[in-house]
């Protein structure tokens, strides 16, 4: 199957002023689109073109001879998951099952917010911070470059992109400010709740 660029779940200006339409034009329109284009070129004639995105990731993870395929496939998947982790007028304290699980795992929402922000701020170089389920338990983790929890048997619940192209036009080198804004104004808790199911 041909891998396609999914539509954004919101208008390009819907996250302003926190993430601008200009950032999304580059991040979604250029970066995410390039991963899709590159992946389709790389999987042509390999047998992987018949597989789903998740299967491509699982079949190429850890295989250095297929690192290009894995990196592009994982970045397509990670970015799609990231767009869905964002919501206009989102963020703040969660409700529903995710609120209960966060309280149980971290003690409080504020402790979760502190640890999640720290994971994103301390990811050296490019990568991602994640809220995942590991054998039914909520945990915060981070991955380098294109790596993704689904390559490690973890179930992603929420992610924030900490590659510079995710925030540099709006926040320059102030990654902690971007992370604070993500947590307080942009998290899509409905998506997180749906991922617990």
pLDDT 10s digits, 151-160: 999 999 999 9
pLDDT at 26 over 80: yes
Question: Residues of CATH 3.55.40.20 domain(s) within the chain?
Answer: 97-196
The pLDDT assigned to 99 comes to 97
Q: What are the backbone dihedrals phi and psi of residue 45, each rounded to the nearest 5 degrees, phi first?
A: 75, 10
Pairing of strands 155-161, 127-134: antiparallel
Q: What is the pLDDT of residues 75-103, one digit of tens each?
A: 999 999 999 999 999 999 999 999 999 99
Question: Residues of CATH 1.10.287.990 domain(s) within the chain?
Answer: 21-85
DSSP SS3 for 86: strand
Q: In what order do the strands lie in the sheet with 155-161?
A: 137-144, 127-134, 155-161
Q: CATH for 21-85, among 3.30.230.10, 1.10.287.990, 1.10.10.10, 2.70.70.10?
A: 1.10.287.990
pTM: 0.96
What 8-state DSSP symbol labels residue 187?
B
pLDDT at 1 over 80: no
Q: What angle do CA 111, 195, 188 make, to 5 degrees?
A: 60
Q: Which CATH class is domain 97-196?
A: alpha beta
Q: What are the backbone dihedrals phi and psi of residue 132, each rounded to the nearest 5 degrees, phi first?
A: -130, 160
């Amino acid at each position: 199957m041909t891998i396609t660029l999914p539509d954004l779940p919101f208008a390009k200006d819907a996250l302003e002023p926190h993430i601008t339409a200009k950032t999304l034009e580059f991040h979604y329109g250029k970066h995410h689109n390039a991963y899709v284009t590159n992946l389709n070129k790389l999987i042509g004639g390999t047998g992987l073109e018949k597989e789903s995105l998740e299967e491509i990731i699982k079949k190429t993870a850890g295989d250095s001879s297929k690192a290009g395929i894995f990196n592009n496939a994982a970045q397509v998947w990670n970015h799609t998951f990231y767009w869905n982790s964002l919501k206009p007028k989102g963020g703040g304290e969660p409700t529903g099952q995710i609120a209960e699980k966060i309280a149980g795992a971290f003690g409080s929402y504020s402790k979760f917010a502190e640890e999640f922000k720290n994971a994103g701020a301390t990811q050296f170089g490019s990568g991602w911070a994640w809220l995942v389920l590991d054998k039914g338990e909520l945990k915060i983790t981070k991955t380098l470059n294109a790596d993704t929890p689904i390559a490690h048997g973890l179930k992603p619940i929420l992610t924030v992109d900490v590659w510079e192209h995710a925030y540099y036009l709006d926040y320059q080198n102030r990654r902690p400010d971007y992370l604070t804004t993500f947590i307080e104004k942009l998290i899509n808790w409905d998506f997180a709740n749906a991922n617990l199911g």
